[in-house]
Each structure stands twice: as structure tokens, then as C-alpha cells.
Amino acid sequence: MYKRLSAVLFPIATLLFVGSILWGYQEHQEKNAILIKAENQYQRAFHDLTNHMGRLQDELGQTLAVSSVSHGMQRKGLVKVWRLTGEAQNEINQLPLAMLPFNKAGDFLSRIADFAYNTSVRDLTKEPLSQDELKTMKSLYAKATDINRDLGKIQNAVLSDHLRWMDVEVAMAGKDEPHNNTIIDGFKAVDKKISSYPENDWGPSAMSTKRRRSVHVLSGRDATPDEIGRAALAFIGTTVHSGTGHNVHVSENGKNTDMPGYTATVAGANGENIQLNYTRKGGQLLWYMNARDVKARKLDFAEAKNKATQFLVRHGYKDMTPVTYDEYDHVAVFTYVALKDNVRIYPDKVTVRVALDNGEAVGLQASDHVFAPKTPAAGSPKIAKEKAQKALHPEFKVQNYSLAVIENEQNKPVLCHEFTGGVNGGKYRIYINADTGLEETVEKIPETARALLK
């Protein structure tokens, strides 16, 4: 009986033993495949980062090398700098650096991106780069050279010593300090060096970027990648004329920082990449960009303005009024500010880019709107309009008037009388403090934006 029982059980036990070995081997192979895939992704992101940082340095150098009257080349260079900083930030977010103090590097790239964007969207033929802006670019070029030198050392160590990013992840997950890892030490040194740089004078065009932004000022729960993907597709569906059937890829960025968020990438009908950036908390859209070529100008100013206004209303940006206008490469750029009780709220603004071939909105910058201080009603001016007007130049011809809230040099909201008009052949906005009657600031209106005064 025992022989008969063992004759039956032995083959079964053997099969189970062999099966467990095969199952364990398969599990091991699958785990190795996942680790190899993750390692390859980390390596690609790191080498792409060093490549884009090198190209960023080159673009800054080339932009500085062209003649001061080569405004077209300056604009192209600044647009490339803006795009490269965005790609570098995305690659940093793909690396396992969330537990490292690498925020200074991300903030530095963000400031470069804002500086490049704000200087490139204006008409450089009428408002060329100032000496201070050129000085800032020279400083950025020197710093980029310095940072690339250190990144090059890390890259050489990775290649020559066959360092693995999975070891970085394991080292950072450990509780023991300090982490003894060449890559970790290298990135810490880069971030420390960036924090030691003297602060650049970024100029008034980047003033809003100096206000520290944090998700803590936002309301709502954390959005999921699926929710962001659906939001991006809904936004694209009501924005891009070629409509449906898009695929979306959502990547997380800024994890464990003050600005965690998501970037959604959608393939356009003609192969162009459409990108949208959202906050994680509340799932609010920060910017949208459709990088397609616009090769013809078919719309006039009034039609473009109409399209921009319709786009904003359609996407929930209501009660806003256009205050600046520019045009380049067959694209119209409008800046709108919030209008509250007929008072212009300048800290709360959005910028819309409209393609002049078909009226499609190909860009939106809404960060200032999302993070605008939630101020109460502007209140009443202590000084009447007539008294404030006496502070103007005697020959200043007032064309338009409004109450406005602007930010002073300390980033504090100030209620002002806004007078728009001309003197000495130029057009200006002059802001008179509604409490003190003193001139707060003066803004020259570019010739392209004067159509808004009519």
C-alpha cells in the first residue's frame, strides 16, 4: 500500500518541486526585467539632462554672440532656452532625486525659463534687450558653464565606473546618513553650488516669479494622473480644431517639493507635441503649449482679440480684460487681467497666444492667475481721480482711465489710479497711488499694443 501511495505522490511532489523552481525563476526574471527597465529609464533621463544642459549653455552663448540688432536671432535663442529649461526640469523630475536637497537647481531652471519666456514674447525690435538683461544673460551663461562642468564629472563617473541609478534609489531609501554614493554626492554639490550663487537681477518682466509659490495656497484635494489625463483631453478637445482620438501621457513632477504637479503630453494631429502642466493639489492648469508652426497671417487684430476672449470664456476665465498685445511669427500674444467691480487686478493675469492662420489658441500661461493673492475688494480710493490727475505731466493727454490694483516693489497690492495716454510722442500707463497721490510706476506701451487703446 505504501509503495502504491509513494508511487503516486512522488511524481506529484516532483512536479510541484520543479514547478516551484520554474515559478521562482520566472519571478526572478520578471523582477530583473523591471529593474533593468527602471535603470535604463534613469540612465536615459540623466544623459538627456546633461545633453540639454549643455545645449542650454550653448544657446545662451550663441544668443549673446549675435549682434545687438539681430532681434530675430535673439528671440529664437531665447525661445530655445525656454524649451530646453523645460526639458531639463522634466528630466530632473524623472530621476530618483526626490529625497535629495535639489530644489535650488529646479528653482534656478524655473527662473531661467520665466526670464527667457518673458523677454522672448515681446517685440524686441521696439523693446530690445536692456543692458541689465544682457548682464543677466552673461551671468546665466557663466553659471550654466560652471554647472555643466560639475554634471560632466558626474557623467564621466557614471560611464567609467558603471554606476547604477538603482543603487542611488536604494541608498536614499536607507535610513543611515550620510549616503555614500558618487551620484548623490555629485548632485548635492551641484545644488549647494547653485545656492551659493549671488541672486540675479531678473528685472520687472520676471517680477511675479520672485513671489514664492506653493501648493499650500491652493484649495482642493490632490488630483490623480487619470483625472489629469481626462482634463487634458477635455481641454484639447475644445481647443484644437482637429478634435478627437488623442492619446495622452501623464508624468509626475516636483514630487516632495513646494510645487508637485503633472505634465500631460498629447500627440497632435500633425505630429506636434501638445503639453499641459497642472498642479497636483486641485488639478489646476498652469500652462498649455501647442508647438505647431504657424506659416500664414489671415486674421486681423480684432478677429484675434475676439478668438482670445472666446477661448478664455470657454475655459472658465471670465471677467478679464486685455491690457497688452504683441505679435510675432504669425502669432498674436494677449495679456488679460482680472476685472473686479470695474477695477483691474494686475497680479491676476493670463497670457494667451493665438495663431493668426485659423484663430486657434496655441498657448496659455495661467500661473499668475492660479497663484494670484486672493485679495478682498479693492476698496475706495482716498484721493479722487481729479486730484491724482494733477500729478501727471501737464502735456500728458489722457485717453483712458481705470482704477487698478498693481504690485509694488515689495510685492504688496496697491490701489492706483491708472491713466493711459500720450506725451512726447510716446504712449504710457501711469499709476498714481490712490492713498498717497504719489506716482507708483510708469509703463511704456509698445506700438503693437496701442490698438487696445482704440
Q: Where are the domains of the chain?
A: 27-207, 211-284, 293-372, 385-453
> So what's the pLDDT on residue 312?
95
> So what's the pLDDT on residue 60?
84
Distances (CA, A) of 358 to 60, 239, 242, 293: 33, 12, 12, 12
CATH number for the domain whose boundaries are 385-453: 3.10.450
Angle at 176 between CA 170 and CA 179, to 5 degrees: 60
Question: Which one of 49-63, 121-135, 428-442 scores highest in mean pLDDT?
Answer: 428-442
CA distance 373 to 213: 11
pLDDT tens-digit readout, 103-154 = 667 777 777 887 787 777 777 777 788 887 888 888 888 888 888 888 888 8
Residue 76 per-residue DSSP state: H
* 308: its cell numbers: 482670445
Beta carbons of 248 and 229 less than 8 angstroms apart:
yes
> So what's the pLDDT on residue 244?
45
On average, the pLDDT of the chain sits at 78
pLDDT tens-digit readout, 270-284 = 667 788 999 898 898
> So what's the pLDDT on residue 18?
60
> So what's the pLDDT on residue 163?
73
Rounded mean pLDDT, 148-161:
82
> So what's the pLDDT on residue 28?
53
351: pLDDT confidence band, cut at 50, 70 and 90?
Answer: very high
CA distance 155 to 127: 41
List CB contacts of 181: < 8 A, sequence separation 6 or more: 167, 168, 171
418: pLDDT confidence band, cut at 50, 70 and 90?
Answer: very high
Does residue 265 have a pLDDT over 50?
A: yes
> So what's the pLDDT on residue 206?
42
183 or 205, greater pLDDT = 183
Which of 202-211, 397-406, 417-426 shows the lowest per-residue confidence on average (mean pLDDT)?
202-211
Beta carbons of 145 and 72 less than 8 angstroms apart:
no
Residue 384 per-residue DSSP state: -
Beta carbons of 401 and 376 less than 8 angstroms apart:
no
**Cα-to-chain-centroid distance, residue 96:** 21
Does residue 249 have a pLDDT over 50?
A: yes
Q: Is 127 helix (H, G, I), strand (E, B) or coil?
A: coil
Does the pTM exceed 0.85? no
Q: Determine phi and psi for 216, rounding to 5 degrees.
A: -65, -20
Q: Determine phi and psi for 180, rounding to 5 degrees.
A: -95, 85
Beta bridge partners of 322: 336
Beta carbons of 279 and 218 less than 8 angstroms apart:
yes
Question: Which one of 349-358, 411-420, 424-433 scores highest in mean pLDDT?
Answer: 349-358
> So what's the pLDDT on residue 189?
76
Beta carbons of 47 and 55 less than 8 angstroms apart:
no
Same fold, 293-372 and 385-453: yes
> So what's the pLDDT on residue 203?
44
CATH topology classification for 293-372? Nuclear Transport Factor 2; Chain: A, (3.10.450)
CA distance 179 to 173: 10
Rounded mean pLDDT, 309-331:
89
> So what's the pLDDT on residue 112?
81
List CB contacts of 398: < 8 A, sequence separation 6 or more: 389, 392, 419, 420, 421
13: pLDDT confidence band, cut at 50, 70 and 90?
Answer: low
Alpha helices, H only, 161-200:
165-173, 182-196
